[in-house]
């Protein structure tokens, strides 16, 4: 399978990465090179093979459903580009 | 006085305990070495001299009080992927501009709890995506090694290129690193250092910037096998904050070093003999086989039939996980924000300007293979192939093989800004052809220097072990190290 430039632009939109016309052209070639390389996986017979979900067999560890951490709002917003009173500030999303 | 930076971790530890040297002297020697060399090598992207000297002073007090930890007073470099409280942590990406976490990663916490001293943060490929350290926002690292009679700058490998270069140039006693497809072992091989990627789950991933969560694993790069064993023992732990970290006792890895190989069965996989591999690497591999045989191991030919599919499967699984992990960099919670006309425009501009080309490429691939209509054809197929890759190893181990010997890389270090590699991303990916199988199967793998090529550049061998049997890797790698000797880059910087 290969991608065309309109697919590349659509994927860039899904990935939330702005691309120029030149970027999209270049990326189309690069992505097709990678997709061409991974194509060989289709040769492998995977009949009856389960997809890997965990590389080491393990049961998911669970903890008690209790609050065990918190009260760190100031720490959490400390690295944000724009904040106000421990809230993240974003451009207006609702008119 | 002898150069304190020449001491291995084991040697420095003994001298510190004997009070022959102080942690402050040792740390000062490293800070001076960094000051002299870093302009040329670009291994550190942030040096923390005040913190280092404070930590060294505290180590000296503990040494005086007879309360020394396992790494008391040992100065280490930390890959920029590890969260370090109040200190530059950006995965060498522009998008994390100014990020200083309010927490400490579990691995580095373990090291400080054992008394280690932090010298600073080390350069790496952006978000650990790369095999040459050229995708770093902070520019490439230079390999301390150069070819005989040449002044051309070589890459140290990647993604842990800063870690490997700093260890090889003696700008730290040892370094932390991470490995998603070969990012510890390939740079170790390119710089004549020892690097081990432990079994998935051996070290906690908590507080390490995520790339591909089912493959990422932390490990050390060190000057020799013993030092790597000492560091891994401190780095490893079970951690309630990483549910994939395992609760299996951590052995004293150092104590296995020097044990004879009698009774061990070493497998030689025929699929690792790839087309176009330099004859020197084949020769080195044969030499390694002879060394292990001489040390009492028995050698068996084995087959790992799905080897060639590991790299293509990796380039679906790893970008898929990366596209999802890197979704969090949105200009809202941390780092860079580029304003836009609305919120989506802000996201798109921030990510366009914050991520480098290689990172964008992988996010795009990952987004594509996970998108509606392609999931089964790519992602599901790759995860099934991954099951088969793991089964290849299980079959071999079930048949009694204790460890597998392979070359570490298909070539020695190459030049910075190599045009041939820059023009085709897939060519760069082929660097990981011998290492990536290990991540796909979650196994431990160690790279150990085994010789120099005809141009005088280091080449490494890789040993792959059973899950959680890092001990056999240290035991076997030590035999190779004893036979091959140690390799130091002639100082030009």
- pLDDT by residue for chain B (493 residues), tens only, comes to 579 999 999 999 999 999 999 999 999 999 999 999 999 999 999 999 999 999 999 999 999 999 999 999 999 999 999 999 999 999 999 999 999 999 999 999 999 999 999 999 999 999 999 999 999 999 999 999 999 999 999 999 999 999 999 999 999 999 999 999 999 999 999 999 999 999 999 999 999 999 999 999 999 999 999 999 999 999 999 999 999 999 999 999 999 999 999 999 999 999 999 888 889 999 999 999 999 999 999 999 999 999 999 999 999 999 999 999 999 999 999 999 999 999 999 999 999 999 999 999 999 999 999 998 899 999 999 999 999 999 999 999 999 999 999 999 999 999 999 988 877 888 888 889 999 999 999 999 999 999 999 999 999 999 999 999 999 999 999 999 999 999 999 999 9
| DSSP 8-class letter at A95 | -
Please give the Cα distance from B221 to B412 (Å, whole number).
Answer: 18
Active-site amino acid positions of B: 79, 159, 183
Owner of token pair 């923390």: B48
Look at residue A83 and tell me if it is in a domain. no
Q: Are B162 and B169 in contact (CB under 8 A)?
A: no
Enclosing domain of residue B228: 4-259+446-484
| Tokens 């590890």, located at residue | B82
- Chain A window 29-58: which residues touch B at a Cβ cutoff of 8 Å? 30-31, 33-35, 37-42, 44, 46, 49-56, 58
Is A60's CB within 8 Å of B309's CB?
no
Task: Answer whether residue B248 is part of any domain.
Answer: yes
Q: Does residue A84 fall inside a structural domain?
A: no
Residues 326-385 of B with CB under 8 A from A: 327, 330-337, 339-340, 342-349, 351-352, 355, 360-361, 363-365, 367-368, 371, 374, 377-378, 380-385
Is the Cα dihedral B134, B140, B146, B147 positive or negative? Answer: positive
Q: What is the CATH number of the domain that holds A10?
A: 1.10.20
Q: How far is A22 from chain B (nearest CA, A)?
A: 13
Instruction: Please check whether residue B202 lies inside any domain of the structure.
Output: yes
CATH number for the domain harbouring residue B212: 3.90.1300.10
When divided into structural domains, chain A yields a total of 1
A20-32 pLDDT, tens per residue?
A: 999 999 999 999 9
Q: Is residue A38 part of a domain?
A: yes
Q: Which two tokens stand for residue B59?
A: 């180590």
Alpha carbon distance B343, B327 (integer Å): 15
Task: Determine the structural domain holding residue A31 and report its residue range.
Answer: 5-43
Residue B282, in any domain of the structure: no
* pLDDT tens per residue, range A58-94: 788 888 999 989 999 999 999 999 999 999 999 988 8
In chain B, the number of structural domains is: 1
Question: Under DSSP, is residue B138 helix (H, G, I), strand (E, B) or coil?
Answer: coil
- Residue-wise DSSP of B354-414: HS-HHHHHHHHHHHHHHSTTTTIIIIIHHHHHHHHHHHHHHHHHHTT--EEEEES-SSS--
Residue B288 domain-assigned (yes or no): no
Q: Interface pTM (ipTM) of the complex?
A: 0.96
pLDDT score at B1: 52
Whether A17 maps to a domain, the answer reads: yes
DSSP A2: -
Does A94 contact chain B (CB < 8 Å)? no
Domain annotation covers residue B80: yes
Residue A56's pLDDT band (cuts 50, 70, 90): confident
Residue B401 in any domain: the answer is no
As a three-state string, the secondary structure of B397-461 is HHCCCCEEEEECCCCCCCECCCHHHHCCHHHHHHHHCCCHHHHHCCCCEEEEEEEECCCCCEEEE
Sort out which chain B residues have CB atoms less than 8 A from A17's CB and list them. 348, 351-352, 355, 360, 363-364
End-to-end CA distance of chain B: 22
Nearest CB to A14: which of B367, B384, B390? B367
Whether B53 is in a domain gets the answer: yes
A61 in contact with chain B, both atoms CB, cutoff 8 A:
yes
Give the minimum alpha-carbon distance from B376 to chain A in angstroms, rounded to a whole number. Answer: 11
Residue B118 lies in a domain: yes
């Amino acid at each position: 399978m290969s991608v065309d430039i309109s697919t590349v632009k659509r994927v860039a939109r899904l990935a939330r990465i702005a691309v120029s016309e030149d970027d999209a052209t270049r990326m189309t070639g690069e992505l097709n090179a990678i997709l061409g390389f991974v194509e060989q996986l289709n040769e492998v017979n995977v009949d009856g093979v389960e997809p890997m979900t965990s590389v080491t067999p393990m049961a998911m560890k669970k903890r008690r459903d209790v609050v065990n951490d918190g009260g760190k709002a100031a720490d959490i917003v400390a690295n944000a580009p724009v904040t106000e009173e421990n809230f993240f500030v974003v451009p207006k999303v609702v008119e | 006085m002898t150069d304190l930076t020449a001491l291995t971790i084991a040697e420095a530890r003994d001298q510190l305990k004997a009070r022959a040297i102080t942690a402050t002297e040792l740390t000062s020697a490293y800070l001076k070495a960094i000051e002299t060399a870093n302009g040329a090598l670009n291994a550190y992207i942030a040096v923390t001299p005040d913190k280092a000297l404070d930590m060294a002073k505290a180590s000296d007090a503990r040494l005086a009080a007879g309360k020394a930890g396992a790494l008391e007073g040992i100065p280490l470099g930390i890959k920029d992927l590890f969260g370090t409280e109040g200190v530059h942590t950006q995965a060498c990406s522009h998008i994390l501009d100014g990020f200083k976490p309010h927490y400490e990663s579990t691995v580095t916490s373990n090291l400080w709890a054992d008394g280690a001293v932090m010298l600073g943060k080390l350069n790496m490929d952006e978000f650990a995506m790369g095999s040459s350290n050229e995708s770093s926002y902070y520019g490439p690292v230079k390999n301390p090694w150069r070819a005989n009679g040449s002044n051309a700058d070589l890459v140290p490998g990647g993604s842990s290129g800063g870690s490997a270069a700093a260890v090889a140039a003696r700008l730290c006693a040892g370094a932390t690193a991470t490995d998603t497809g070969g990012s510890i072992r390939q740079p170790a091989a390119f710089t004549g250092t020892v690097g081990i990627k432990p079994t998935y789950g051996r070290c906690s991933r908590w507080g390490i910037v995520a790339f591909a969560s089912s493959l990422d694993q932390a490990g050390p790069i060190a000057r020799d096998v013993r030092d790597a064993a000492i560091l891994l023992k401190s780095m490893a732990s079970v951690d309630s904050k990483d549910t994939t970290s395992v609760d299996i006792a951590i052995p004293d890895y150092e104590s296995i070093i020097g044990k004879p190989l009698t009774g061990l069965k070493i497998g030689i996989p025929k699929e690792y003999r790839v087309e176009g591999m330099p004859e020197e690497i084949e020769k080195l591999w044969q030499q390694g086989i002879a060394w292990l045989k001489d040390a009492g191991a028995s050698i068996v030919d084995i087959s790992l039939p799905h080897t060639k599919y590991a790299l293509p499967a990796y380039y679906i699984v790893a970008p898929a996980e990366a596209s999802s992990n890197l979704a969090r960099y949105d200009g809202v919670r941390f780092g860079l924000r580029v304003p836009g006309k609305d919120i989506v425009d802000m996201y798109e501009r921030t990510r366009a300007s914050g991520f480098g080309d290689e990172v964008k490429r992988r996010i795009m691939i990952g987004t594509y293979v996970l998108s509606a209509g392609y999931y089964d054809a790519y992602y599901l197929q790759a995860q099934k192939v991954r099951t088969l890759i793991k089964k290849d190893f299980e079959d071999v181990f079930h048949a009694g093989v204790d460890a597998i010997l392979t070359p570490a890389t298909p070539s020695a270090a190459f030049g910075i800004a190599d045009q041939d590699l820059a023009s085709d991303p897939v060519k760069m990916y082929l660097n990981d052809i011998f290492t990536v199988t290990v991540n796909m199967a979650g196994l431990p793998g160690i790279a150990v220097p085994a010789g120099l090529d005809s141009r005088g550049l280091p080449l490494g061998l890789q040993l792959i072990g059973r899950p959680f049997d890092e001990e056999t890797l240290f035991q076997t790698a030590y035999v190779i190290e004893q036979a091959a000797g140690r390799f130091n880059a002639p100082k030009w910087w």
